[in-house]
Amino acid sequence: MAAIIGFVFFILNSLLSLLVWAIIISAILSWLVAFDVINLRNRFVYSVAHFLEAVTRPVLRPFQRIIPTLGGVDISPIIVILVIYGIQGYLLPALRDFLIGLAPF
């Protein structure tokens, strides 16, 4: 049973890591579009930007409603990444250890 719990938490941790990378790539892509380095008229760039927006929007939107922009710069991705790292570093291991302690051998 401990192996299954460990595997489930490995998958959760990996998904959170992928979400962090999606947030970082989305932020960089938005900067490149804003500074006209790349163009959304390119079909591939548009597809990637649309996918990243669809993945990151549900996570970022609640934080964007609470946290104001600082000088026109949205800092909600930084806050979300810090929260995800906190979940990965403290909550997931504590919950995993608690569930393993409850599991019969």
3-state secondary structure of 41: coil
60 class by beta-carbon count within 10 Å (0-12 exposed, 13-18 middle, 19+ buried): buried
Average pLDDT over residues 29-46: 94
Q: Where are the alpha helices (DSSP H) in the chain?
A: 2-34, 43-66, 76-86, 92-102
Maximum pairwise Cα distance, the chain: 58
Per domain, the residue ranges of the chain are 13-102
* Number of residues assigned to the chain: 105
For residues 78 and 4, give the distance between their C-alpha atoms in angstroms, rounded to a whole number.
32
- Above 90 in pLDDT, residue 72? no
- Above 80 in pLDDT, residue 105? no
pLDDT 10s digits, 9-27: 999 999 999 999 999 999 9
